[in-house]
């Protein structure tokens, strides 16, 4: 399962957003000590439409596991209270406070989203720099004994990483790929993980919640987002709390009045899913309509393995139709008559929104 960790200072609304994303979305929650785990269902209007078409006995959306750990007491304090929890995450979601509330004082006594975002980033960078330096000390000793090609390549990439980190650059900003990325993956560097900044807006600024650029500019986060090679989603936790208490029809009407197409929670969950580089394909039928999570660029045979390893081993062909074509035609039979159902082999790269039936040997 995909795993994202929420990070942030106290009094940012982080735990409130976590509870809303997991509890309000009917996800399971469990915890131990200062870390709580919850499951969020990825909102997908396509799955809703397919479910309405096929009226299955079961609807299964894609999911993300979120963790919420106790944060530092203030900016500049050690942000990495649960380093292990962060290291195991596929991505980090940093909730930054931009709302004003005298009843909830900021730990640093002033509201400055750009400062707080940079403070957390600096903690991630410092933690990674320590890991790199320790590894390079051991590697230097190994190279004196034997200068193998693998050790020299590792030294080269770690040297580049150390230089970037010492310069205050997160590793995700280096744009590493191929062998370089593989060599660093085992270290689980924190600043190399995809990062999503959630801007928790003031109720008075709700108008900019639908516009990432406007919210980033208004809160001074634009330079940080560009420098840190990260994305952002604006939300207003106070409004989200009100929405969570409404019936679906009333919630939709409330959002419409605010000029928002969907809740901020849905945007955060979906943005986290996209940030991880995942997409969904669908299987449909009377028994079940389901969204399956796979990394972008996954070939059909590996995608089949998400359903069951036996289907992957016995893979013969994939019957594929695009979501848009299926919705337009209204049924699989109509798509087949129109020649829009394709037979694809094991190397076919599955596309986001593909509706697939896998043929396989038993």
Residue 183: give its domain's CATH number: 1.10.150.300
Nearest of 58, 101, 38, 11 to residue 272 by alpha carbon: 38
pLDDT over threshold 90, residue 162: yes
Q: Is residue 291 domain-resident? A: no
> Which of 226, 244, 275 is a domain's end point?
275
* Same domain (yes/no): 85, 220: yes
* Same domain (yes/no): 319, 217: no
**40 burial type by CB count under 10 A (0-12 exposed, 13-18 middle, 19+ buried):** buried
Instruction: Give the pLDDT band (50/70/90) at residue 32.
Output: low
352 three-class SS? coil
Largest Cα–Cα separation, the chain = 70
Residue 182 sits at the vertex; the CA angle it makes with 186 and 41, to the nearest 5 degrees, is: 75
Check residue 260 and give its pLDDT. Answer: 85
Residue 261: give its domain's CATH number: 3.40.50.300
Q: Which stretch of 23-27, 82-86, 246-250, 324-328 has the lowest confidence by average pLDDT?
A: 23-27
Q: Is residue 222 domain-resident? A: yes
Check residue 70 and give its pLDDT. Answer: 64
pLDDT over threshold 80, residue 21: yes
Nearest of 223, 46, 191 to residue 127 by alpha carbon: 191
| The total number of structural domains that make up the chain | 3
Per cent of the chain over pLDDT 70 is 93
Phi and psi, residue 136, nearest 5°: -70, -35
Q: Which stretch of 83-87, 177-181, 216-220, 245-249 has the lowest confidence by average pLDDT?
A: 83-87
Sorted by sequence, the CB contacts under 8 Å of residue 49 that are 6+ apart come out as: 327
* Same domain (yes/no): 74, 8: yes
* Same domain (yes/no): 187, 64: no
Instruction: Give the pLDDT band (50/70/90) at residue 29.
Output: very low
Instruction: Give the pLDDT band (50/70/90) at residue 24.
Output: very low
Q: Which stretch of 54-63, 151-160, 178-187, 284-293 has the lowest confidence by average pLDDT?
A: 178-187
Query: pTM value?
Result: 0.87
Mean pLDDT of 148-171: 94
Mean pLDDT of 302-320: 97
| Owning domain of residue 103 | 2-47+59-110+193-275
pLDDT per residue over 188-209, tens digit each? 999 999 999 999 999 888 878 8
Give the pair of three-digit tokens for residue 287. 């028994």
Q: Is residue 355 domain-resident? A: yes
pLDDT over threshold 60, residue 40: yes
Mean pLDDT of 266-294: 94
Mean pLDDT of 338-358: 97
Mean pLDDT of 18-40: 68
pLDDT per residue over 7-17, tens digit each? 998 899 998 89
Given strand 91-97, what is the order of strands in its sheet? Answer: 29-32, 35-41, 63-69, 2-7, 91-97, 195-200, 231-235
pLDDT over threshold 70, residue 72: no
Q: How far apart are CA 332 and CA 52, in angstroms?
A: 14
pLDDT over threshold 60, residue 48: yes
* Same domain (yes/no): 201, 187: no
* Same domain (yes/no): 169, 206: no
pLDDT per residue over 90-139, tens digit each? 999 999 999 998 888 888 889 999 999 999 999 999 999 999 999 999 99
């Amino acid at each position: 399962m995909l795993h994202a960790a929420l990070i942030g200072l106290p009094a940012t609304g982080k735990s409130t957003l976590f509870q809303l994303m997991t509890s309000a979305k009917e996800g399971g929650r469990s915890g131990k000590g200062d870390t709580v785990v919850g499951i969020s269902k990825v909102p997908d209007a396509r799955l809703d439409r397919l479910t309405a078409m096929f009226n299955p006995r079961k609807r299964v959306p894609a999911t993300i596991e979120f963790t919420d750990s106790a944060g530092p007491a203030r900016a500049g304090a050690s942000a990495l209270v649960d380093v292990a929890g962060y290291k195991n995450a596929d991505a980090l979601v940093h909730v930054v406070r931009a709302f004003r509330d005298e009843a909830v004082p900021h730990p640093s006594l002033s509201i400055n989203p750009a400062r707080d975002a940079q403070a957390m980033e600096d903690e991630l960078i410092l933690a990674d720099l320590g890991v790199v330096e320790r590894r390079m000390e051991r590697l230097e000793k190994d190279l004196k004994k034997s200068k193998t090609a693998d050790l020299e390549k590792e030294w080269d990439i770690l040297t580049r990483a150390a230089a970037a980190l010492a310069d205050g650059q997160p590793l995700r900003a280096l744009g590493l790929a191929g062998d370089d990325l593989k060599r660093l993956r085992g270290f689980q560097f924190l600043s190399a993980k995809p990062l999503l900044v959630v801007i928790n807006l003031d109720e008075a600024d709700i108008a900019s919640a639908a516009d990432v650029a406007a919210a980033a500019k208004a809160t001074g986060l634009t330079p940080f987002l560009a420098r840190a090679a990260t994305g952002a989603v604006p939300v207003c936790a106070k409004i989200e709390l009100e929405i969570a208490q409404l019936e679906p029809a009333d919630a939709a009407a409330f959002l419409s009045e605010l000029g928002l197409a969907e809740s901020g929670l849905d945007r955060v969950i979906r943005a986290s899913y996209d940030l991880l580089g995942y997409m969904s394909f669908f299987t449909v039928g009377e028994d079940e309509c389901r969204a399956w999570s796979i990394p972008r660029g996954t070939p059909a045979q590996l995608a089949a393995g998400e359903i069951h390893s036996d289907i992957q081993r016995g893979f013969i062909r994939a019957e594929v139709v695009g979501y848009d074509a299926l919705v337009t035609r209204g049924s699989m039979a109509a798509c087949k008559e129109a020649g829009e159902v394709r037979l694809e082999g094991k190397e076919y790269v599955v596309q986001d929104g593909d509706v697939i039936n896998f043929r396989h040997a038993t």
